Amino acid sequence: MLACMASVWVMADDSADAKGKSDTRTITGCLSQGDNAKEFNLKADDGSTWELRSSKAPLAKHVGHEVEVTGVVKNAMAHNMKEDTKDMAHDTGATKENNEHGHLTVTHLKHVSDTCTK
């Protein structure tokens, strides 16, 4: 029984590392304006989408650019549980897509390019 529990623990740990699940994330992608002046969207290079807000990073001046953002995931525990559920559904063939969607409070922004590659 101990061996079985250990293998489940290792598999869960590997799954968390595969998507980089953490309260803080660094994501690269194309920045666009959101629904209001303080909200922005990031279409990440990995296909995930993120709604961004920040009181520290100058997001507005980078709309239409490729950027790398680092920030804190809103409701990280619930977000990670949602990702785990989507991973299981994808692994069993119940869904074709497995792209993330989340909310991030950006603490740091790095300009990558004046244009988006995707």
Q: Each residue of 60-95: pLDDT tens digit?
A: 999 999 999 999 987 644 444 545 554 565 456 655
Q: Has residue 7 been placed in a domain?
A: no
Q: Each residue of 8-65: pLDDT tens digit?
A: 333 444 433 444 566 888 999 999 999 998 999 999 998 889 999 999 999 999 999 9
Q: Has residue 118 been placed in a domain?
A: no
Number of domains in the chain: 1
| Phi, psi angle pair for 21, to nearest 5° | -65, 125
Q: Has residue 31 been placed in a domain?
A: yes
The most confident of the ranges 13-22, 95-104, 109-118 is: 109-118
- Strands 49-53 and 101-113 turn out to be parallel
Residue span of the structural domain in which 31 resides: 23-113
Helix axes 76-91, 2-19, angle to 10 degrees: 110
Residue of 4 and 87 predicted with greater confidence = 87
Q: What is the CATH number of the domain that holds 91?
A: 2.40.50.140
